[in-house]
Amino acid sequence: MPFPDVTGGGTAWDGGSLSGDRVVQLAEEGGVERESEVPRFPEILRPPVQALQGSEEQRPPTLTLQEAPTGRSAAEDNIWSTGLASWDPFSSLTEDLNDGSLTETRETVEEAPLSPEGGGGGGGGAIGSGSEGEREGGGGGGEKEQPRVYVSSASPSRRPPDLVFFQEGDVTPPSSAVMRNTPSSIPSNSHRMAQDIRSYTSYESVQLPGSIMDDTRPLANSDSLQAKYDKYQNHFKLQKGSDDSKVRKTVETLFFRDNKRRIDFVLVFKDDGDEDLAESRRVFQENLMEEGLELETEDKTQSQDGETYFVKIHVPWDLLARYAEIMKLKKPIKKDDTDQKSRGLYGWLGMKDPFQYNHDRIPPEPNYFSTGFSRSHIEQFIIKDRETFFSPAQRSQIAWEILLRVRYSSAELGVGITRLLSSHTYVAAFPLHDGRYDKDGPDGALCDRRLLYLEWAYYTNWYKRQPLHVVRRYFGDKMALYFAWLGFYTEMLIPAAVLGTFTFICGLFIMFSDFNQPSTEICSQESNSTGSIIMCPLCDKLCDFWKLKDSCLNSRITFLFDNPMTVFFSIAMSFWATMFLELWKRKQAVIQWQWDLENYEEEEELRPEFEEKVTTTRINPVTNKPEPYLPLWSQITRLVATHSIVIMMLLVVLAAVVSVIMYRMAIAVAMYKTESPLFRRNAKLVTSITAASLNLVVIIIFNFFYEKIVVWLTNLEVPRTETEYEDSFTLKMFLFQFVNYYSSLIYIAFFKGRFFYHPGDEEARTNVLMQLRYDMCDPAGCLFELFVQLAIIMIGKQIFNNVIEIFIPIMKVWWNKRRGHNNQLSEAYTRWEQDYDLEPYTRLSLFNEYLEMVIQYGFVTIFVAAFPLAPIFALLNNIVEIRIDAYKYLSKCRRPRAERVQDIGIWFGILKGITYFSVFTNAVVISYTSDFIPRLVYMYGYSPKHNLVGYIRNTLSVFNTSEYKDNMGPEKRDGWPPVCHYRAYRNGPDEENPI
């Protein structure tokens, strides 16, 4: 490829030169071409400089860059001359890499006006801090257009040298400045061209030989540049094999342009031309600055879509200290030197705990005595560094508190960011993630996000404990408390899973033994055995008589879960559920003490939607000020309306359950009618599996609509505060989910087969509901169907939810990035815009996580007698769930603002209610649904040898087939049996009192 002449004063573009007037004309027209088409530096090693559009004959003059001299004084920063300083990329990279490896360089461009009088825009401000200097010094310069200085704002130890551009004119450059290739054709306003230059370049890490690093010879001409490029081309490359024309440069800075002030919060808006919204933004931002916040706005032209503005917010130390005192944030005053941690089993054995995270990367959380922060006693607090004294989560929490308090209009309710978000004055407000999760920082430094990904979210950590103190430091108390509860619940599932698996294995061992006498009798093949008993048809006309041995498989599977071990397991699980709640209360108390969450009360503000919809006011008895008020009659009206709709939706769920039952009966009839012995023999099994799968699909569909309906109903009630909103929403949603998931299970466990009288029952043919009487249990009992239903719904729900949690955020983030990037990819892709493209964190994000686990807790406790493997499947799901949630919130969601909470809120009450209900249901399942009690009664009341021989015959009643009416029973034919049997405890036709 051709290279420009770097020694002469003219141009070396193939085909001629371009006049300065033409350069200015093209610059004003905005004609720029992609950096990949600029043959100014070697293709894989060039600064990202954009050139003006034009043919080969219309290329602009050569622009060369050279390292700016070090050790400059403030006066020497006022450099004014014709042309551009030059930069030798090879020598600068040599200085930037002391360890011999080229690492990622991430930088921003800073623009600072200079004036001869102002000394760099602000009292002699040094290059690298021009923005701040402009604000503080603001030099003059008369009416003459001020030149611009563009510098890199990365730390001096990790950045390429400063890029400095000069304007023709007034001040002679210092003698220490080395100038090369100053073409006479550069126009006097050539600094306009500099606005198209980006000083950020992303490189992939490569190892460089020492000979390359030692070679710092200056460039003499284009031939030496080409030779140097040929020599080093295998050692330099752009970011990971990307097509050079499609490389997007990412800017990972977390600071303002001065690289000193940290970004604590970001506001996002799009200017749609609405003057009222623009005025609200202007007033709000001015009031934020008056409050003490420091703001910096990124113009929409710098965004990927060319439409979005980003307002970066920094909270200075004085404001942090003042609001920390107002919010009573507790900070450390003295280290707790007492040894509070036991050595544990591995400590006594002198072994390293394999379940601990890497303490070399994440040291254990130190213990401190803490108290509410006070500026008057600031010397009492342990402050090693003011920049890190408040964690990023606390800084964002303070920033949010300020945003809630600042006014945006003179109206009574014109206060707070939440109302501005509700009115779409701003489209988003969030704190920034503190770096990339998938790549180490400069010098191998690990930010908290990267650290949590490596030691917490990565799938290889599935067996390790969670670094909750780092989770709390990064996400705040509310998120950390959720993961603490989820981790504790998962640990508590371990003994339940071991006991449930042991119960299942015991059932496997005795399933084919003589101990399983009922199944042995059912499966017997002899002609006069119990298995040859003729059973009554399961429906009219279409169904035929069948033999008891056809349900052999069902009876053996049922015994897996209906054996004496299951009874003791159910009793143990009732104790486990109670212990879980009590131990969690203890664990939560410890967390509250460690994290200073006790006695925390937050004064909540009114919801913007409440203030918008409520027009009546009353005098607050505490503040003696008027406030919006919803009259009692309006509250009652809204509650009646919402509860009526809730009842109607519950009836829809019950109708769906009835529909699935009718489907089950229809499929069973169709399979019994077939000529295939295989279908006839497995009709119950196939029917149960397909019906449960259909029920799962119905549940998933209802869930999709229920959430939207519940949101609408909760908004209709107009809750006063966010807590009231969340509580109302939680109760409705849990009630919907409870009925949706558990109604079919409750029907099978408590009602199925209980309404059947006897074959030939005329009343059962009067209407559709009466036909449900024919939905009978297998001769081995209903526990088999309950097991199939519970297993499919629980496992299917968990698989579906995990797939959704993984792929939906990935697809949404991909779509947001694709949809928003209308601008050229050469524009810098900043950290704030990267976070804006992520999935928003909403007030219901954690709600859905809790709801999913609480529903699972119901499966584990309420019907565990029918499915002893429920705890092991829950344990396996939760091991995956913790890592999926961690990965999702670290990589695919915007960083949530930190929130303080005392406990897990209303969810503990719901868990307590489920626990009490589970004790009742398991007792009923054992005594009412399973055969445990009937077997005991037979063994000790009817069996002469106190065993189960003859138990199956004892559970069957006899029906005289001659009592079938014309429209009942199968078609009459030769070989019609005189009697048939059905499962019931009724006297036969030949007995003294037949019933």
Q: Please check whether residues 647 and 532 belong to one and the same domain.
A: yes
Compute CA distances 944 → 351, 528, 821, 988, whole Å. 60, 21, 84, 22
Q: What is the pLDDT of residues 508-537, one digit of tens each?
A: 888 777 778 888 888 888 878 888 888 888
Side-chain-facing half-sphere of 986: CA atoms under 13 Å: 16
Judge whether 239 lies within some domain.
yes
769: pLDDT confidence band, cut at 50, 70 and 90? low
Given this model, what pLDDT does residue 18 score?
41
Of 94, 183, 101, 107, the residue nearest 151 (C-alpha): 107
Gap between the Cα atoms of 402 and 320, Å rounded: 10
Kindly report whether the global pTM for this prediction surpasses the value 0.75. no
Q: What is the pLDDT of residues 876-926, one digit of tens each?
A: 999 999 999 999 999 999 999 888 888 888 899 999 999 999 988 888 888
Given this model, what pLDDT does residue 314 score?
93
Report the pLDDT averaged over residues 959-975: 76
Report the pLDDT averaged over residues 372-390: 85
Given this model, what pLDDT does residue 762 score?
66
Judge whether 616 lies within some domain.
yes
What is 75-126 written as a DSSP string?
Answer: GGG----SSB--E-HHHHHHHH-SSSEE------EEEEE--TTTIIIIISPP
Q: Please check whether residues 274 and 408 belong to one and the same domain.
A: yes
Q: Choose from 32-36, 123-127, 498-502 the range with maximum mean pLDDT.
A: 498-502
Given this model, what pLDDT does residue 112 score?
38
Between the CA atoms of 947, 949, 952 and 953, what dihedral angle is there, to the nearest 10 degrees?
A: -120
Gap between the Cα atoms of 150 and 237, Å rounded: 25
At residue 325, does pLDDT exceed 50? yes
Q: Please check whether residues 409 and 540 belong to one and the same domain.
A: no
Of 446, 634, 612, 574, the residue nearest 865 (C-alpha): 574
Last residue of a domain, one of 934, 955, 979: 934
Gap between the Cα atoms of 243 and 274, Å rounded: 40
The fraction of the chain above a pLDDT of 70, given in percent, is 67
Given this model, what pLDDT does residue 71 score?
45
Q: What is the pLDDT of residues 119-128, one digit of tens each?
A: 333 333 333 3
Worst-scoring range by mean pLDDT, 12-21, 591-600, 911-920? 12-21
Plot region of 965 (φ>0 → left; ψ -120 to 50 → alpha; else → beta): beta
Report the pLDDT averaged over residues 788-797: 88
Burial of 422 (0-12, 13-18, 19+ CB in 10 A): middle
The pair of three-digit structure tokens given for residue 818, joined into one six-digit string: 């694709």
Given this model, what pLDDT does residue 8 score?
38
The pair of three-digit structure tokens given for residue 457, joined into one six-digit string: 């979210």
Q: Please check whether residues 443 and 481 belong to one and the same domain.
A: no
Judge whether 965 lies within some domain.
no
At residue 87, does pLDDT exceed 50? no
Compute CA distances 517 → 163, 271, 510, 563, 867, whole Å. 90, 79, 10, 11, 22
Given this model, what pLDDT does residue 184 score?
34
Given this model, what pLDDT does residue 312 score?
94
144: pLDDT confidence band, cut at 50, 70 and 90? very low
Q: Please check whether residues 191 and 236 belong to one and the same domain.
A: yes
Would you tell me the crossing angle of helices 783-820 and 552-561 to the nearest 10 degrees?
A: 80
Report the pLDDT averaged over residues 321-344: 75
Instruction: Judge whether 625 and 712 are in contact, CB under 8 Å.
Output: no
The pair of three-digit structure tokens given for residue 546, joined into one six-digit string: 């069948």
**Domain span at 484:** 477-598+606-820+829-934
Judge whether 967 lies within some domain.
no
For the chain, what is the domain count?
Answer: 3
Name the CA radius of gyration of the chain, rounded.
Answer: 38
What is 139-203 written as a DSSP string?
Answer: ---TTSPPPEEEEE-S-TTTSPPP--B--SSS-PPPTT-------TT--TTGGGGGGGB-----B
Given this model, what pLDDT does residue 803 score?
85
Judge whether 506 lies within some domain.
yes
At residue 204, does pLDDT exceed 60? no
The pair of three-digit structure tokens given for residue 317, joined into one six-digit string: 């130390």
At residue 155, does pLDDT exceed 70? no
Which parts of 327-436 fold into alpha helices (H)?
A: 344-348, 386-389, 392-405, 417-422
The pair of three-digit structure tokens given for residue 724, joined into one six-digit string: 């009231």
Gap between the Cα atoms of 58 and 22, Å rounded: 9
Report the pLDDT averaged over residues 281-292: 92
Count of C-beta atoms within a 10 Å radius of residue 21: 10
Gap between the Cα atoms of 839 and 433, Å rounded: 13
Q: Which residue type, as a one-letter code, is found at position 472? A: R
Last residue of a domain, one of 427, 459, 491: 459
Worst-scoring range by mean pLDDT, 355-369, 440-454, 595-609? 595-609
Q: Please check whether residues 227 and 342 belong to one and the same domain.
A: no
Given this model, what pLDDT does residue 915 score?
93
Of 634, 778, 654, 785, the residue nearest 720 (C-alpha): 634
Judge whether 257 lies within some domain.
no
Given this model, what pLDDT does residue 492 score?
95
Q: Please check whether residues 774 and 635 belong to one and the same domain.
A: yes
At residue 12, does pLDDT exceed 50? no
- Greater confidence (576 vs 75) lies with 576
> Is 617 in a helix, a strand, or coil?
strand
Q: Please check whether residues 348 and 453 belong to one and the same domain.
A: yes
Would you tell me the crossing angle of helices 564-594 and 477-511 to the nearest 10 degrees?
A: 160
Gap between the Cα atoms of 756 and 984, Å rounded: 9
Q: Please check whether residues 613 and 743 belong to one and the same domain.
A: yes
Instruction: Judge whether 669 and 539 are in contact, CB under 8 Å.
Output: yes
- Greater confidence (937 vs 755) lies with 937
Q: Please check whether residues 217 and 354 belong to one and the same domain.
A: no
Instruction: Judge whether 405 and 236 are in contact, CB under 8 Å.
Output: no
Given this model, what pLDDT does residue 686 score?
82
Q: Please check whether residues 488 and 391 belong to one and the same domain.
A: no
Report the pLDDT averaged over residues 102-120: 37
Given this model, what pLDDT does residue 145 score?
41
Given this model, what pLDDT does residue 773 score?
61
Gap between the Cα atoms of 713 and 734, Å rounded: 14
194: pLDDT confidence band, cut at 50, 70 and 90? very low
Gap between the Cα atoms of 546 and 532, Å rounded: 9
At residue 471, does pLDDT exceed 90? yes
Of 678, 936, 654, 910, the residue nearest 772 (C-alpha): 654
Given this model, what pLDDT does residue 911 score?
94
Q: Quick one: how far is CA 551 from the chain centroid?
A: 47
Given this model, what pLDDT does residue 668 score?
75
Q: What is the pLDDT of residues 600-634, one digit of tens each?
A: 656 566 776 777 677 777 777 766 777 777 778 88
Q: What is the pLDDT of residues 632-663, one digit of tens each?
A: 888 788 888 888 888 888 888 888 888 888 88
Q: Please check whether residues 689 and 746 belong to one and the same domain.
A: yes
Q: What is the pLDDT of residues 919-961, one digit of tens each?
A: 888 888 888 778 888 888 888 888 888 888 888 888 888 888 8
Worst-scoring range by mean pLDDT, 209-223, 673-687, 957-971? 209-223
- Greater confidence (823 vs 259) lies with 259
102: pLDDT confidence band, cut at 50, 70 and 90? very low
Report the pLDDT averaged over residues 106-135: 36
For residue 893, the cross-strand partners are 839
264: pLDDT confidence band, cut at 50, 70 and 90? very high
Last residue of a domain, one of 182, 213, 247: 247
Given this model, what pLDDT does residue 293 score?
93
Compute CA distances 609 → 418, 636, 641, whole Å. 10, 19, 19
> Is 544 in a helix, a strand, or coil?
coil
Judge whether 904 lies within some domain.
yes
| Mean pLDDT, all residues of the chain | 72
Judge whether 976 lies within some domain.
no
Gap between the Cα atoms of 174 and 177, Å rounded: 6
Given this model, what pLDDT does residue 764 score?
59
